[in-house]
Amino acid sequence: MKTQRRHPKTNKDLVKSITTLALTLLLLYASALSSYGQSSLDSLLRVVRNTSNVSMIVALSSNAYERRNEHPEEAIKLSTEAIKMSKKADFTEGLIFNYRLLGNLYYQVYNYEEAIHSYDQCITLSLPRNDSATIRECYLNKGVIYFTQGLNNKALDYFLIALNYSKNLDKEKEYNNIGAVFFIEQEYEEAYNYYNKALEIFMKKGDKYGISVANNNIGDVFKMMEKYDAALIYYNKVLSVSDSLINPELEAICLNNIGIVKEMMNDGDSAIYYYSKGLEKAELLNDQILITRTLSLIGNFLFEKGSYAKAKSYLKRAFDLSRDFVIYEDMSNTSKLLQMIYEKDGNFKEAYHYANMHILASDSLHNNEAKKQVLKLMFDHKISVQELERRQLLDTEQHERKKSAFKFYLIILTLIIIVLLVVLFLFRTVQQRKIERIKKENADLQLYNAEKDNELKNREIIEKVLKISEKNELIDATVKSLDEFSSTLSQKQRSQLESITRGLRMRGTKNQWEEFYGYFSQVYSQFFEKLEKEFPNLTLSEKRLCALLKLNMTTKDMAAITNLNFKSIEVARTRLRKKLNLTNSNLTFQEFFSQFN
């Protein structure tokens, strides 16, 4: 069986796990595959249905077993037929074999309810025979099914029962699976103890693949416990035998694990080296999910290092793959980082696009998680009902069958109604929260865009005001030159020239204010109207200062525009605060003037 494994976060916004890892929850058999087609299957069924001898049951069971890997649906039909014939012939061995095989087949096609039912039938038939090996296998596989559904407590119960029936057998499966349950529950010390027991048995048997899986699992435990040096020792043991691995995916996973550990140890060069090796291996295997999550790791690493251009290429690839293969967790993570990168680049169109993608992926991820929780509850309920029904049927064979059946179905109906009501309530609650969150995010986005728009407009006004200031400085320089030239003229000519320069200064000041007023009013059309209404005693120069402070201009720029020195500007600011009743307030001018937009 494979299950999701947890890894330390390389970033708080990064999703929880990088890939799935084999837990060596092995199912019964490994044999050659049959090459029969559908027509031969139908012919075989027609012949078998007219026969009841044991040899035909064995032949039918053998064919089902051979087809189990490539054609599980066909194998289910054959095994079901073998069970029918075994019942007619009272052939208990045939029933035990086929119920166990049928449980594996239903597990393979994800029909977990039928798989559990088949294993229970197999256990019931095996108990009177004290067939410990078969009973242990069925309990072990039942635990696997509960583990895949997230029902860890029940899974642990069945793994422990299987352990009790494996007294004279190797216990590596049980130890490994119990370790997996403790790992998921974050009981890392217990997980380590059981993984280590499994490793000892694998080493005793010389099982290279089992040894590699156990070493990787122990490395994961030390990684989660932040014992990075110990984790690297076990991961490197896996890589040392990578050429002989049955499942090469494990090597790619291990390379990524080492990259994560190196990143946690602030060894950036080594981290990117192992991530790159992991990506090469994943691409060689053409494992799209593993490729996607490795790209996410690399992109996140580069983002954290500030290499936004490089991070962008990896994150875009990861985003595209996660979107194509509907991996909402990676889609949410990568779109958020891409949004931040494009915001830094000033590309707000792309930033807005990925912000929407992040919202979409996050909502889908949330809905999927909610759906999984509901399905988990429903599965647990269904299995509990199946077990209750089986016990009920055994009891009602002797005592009041009809009355007990009526009570049973009444309970089922009540439970279904309760579940439906709970699901309806949860659905409505989730939808309402989703709507409120979207409204808030839209409002925040509108506010963000408005602030950016005002910032751009303020910048345009300041640029235009500075150009006016430059014009004013040119006029001042011209007037100064004319004043110097006047010393060479007669008294009459000097008087005429002074009259001209005086008029030039007055027109320049008047034109400067009129131009500034025009630009400023285009953006803040009601600013002066509201300001005059609130503070009617402000002078013209004070209104000009208010406008400059609204634009958040520096004292230097204000001095250049108003032809005043720094000290005069500071004095004017102090007087203005007093007039605006801000002397004892902590508000800045810009915060205060924001109410006059």
What the block records as the tokens of 121 is 């039938």
Q: Which of the four pLDDT bands, split at 50, 70 and 90, describes residue 151?
A: confident
Short-list 322, 340, 344, CA closest to 332: 322
Q: What is the mean pLDDT of residues 381-388?
A: 59
Of the candidates 296, 218, 200, the one whose C-alpha atom is nearest the C-alpha of residue 254 is: 218
Q: Set out the domains of the chain in order of their start, with CATH numbers.
A: 525-597 (1.10.10)
Contacts of 469 (CB under 8 A, 6+ apart): 512, 557, 560, 561
Alpha-carbon Rg of the chain, whole angstroms? 39
CA dist., res. 100 & res. 79, Å (int): 10
- How does the average pLDDT of the chain come out, rounded? 79
pLDDT tens for 31-86 read 222 333 444 445 444 544 555 577 888 888 888 888 888 899 999 999 999 999 98
pLDDT band at 92 (very low <50, low <70, confident <90, very high): confident
Burial class (CB in 10 A: 0-12, 13-18, 19+), 564: middle
Q: What is the pLDDT of residues 414-424, one digit of tens each?
A: 999 999 999 99
Per the document, the length of the chain is: 597
- 291 close to 321: Cβ distance less than 8 angstroms: yes
Determine the average pLDDT of the residues in 446-475. 70
Kindly indicate the confidence band of residue 390, based on its pLDDT and cuts at 50, 70 and 90: low
Which residue do the tokens 């037929």 mark?
Answer: 81
| CA 448/CA 443 separation, integer angstroms | 9
Highest averaged pLDDT of the listed ranges 110-114, 238-242, 375-379, 499-503 = 110-114
End-to-end CA distance of the chain: 63
What distance in Å separates the CA atoms of residue 562 and residue 544, rounded to the nearest whole number? 9
pLDDT digits (tens, 9 = 90+) for 232-276: 999 999 888 876 666 778 888 899 999 999 999 999 999 999 999
Concatenated DSSP letters of 427-490: HHHHHHHHHHHHHHHHHHHHHHHHHHHHHHHHHHHHHHHHHHHHHHHHHHHHHHHHHHHHTTS-
- Does the pTM of the predicted model rise above 0.85? no
Looking at residue 596, its pLDDT comes to 76
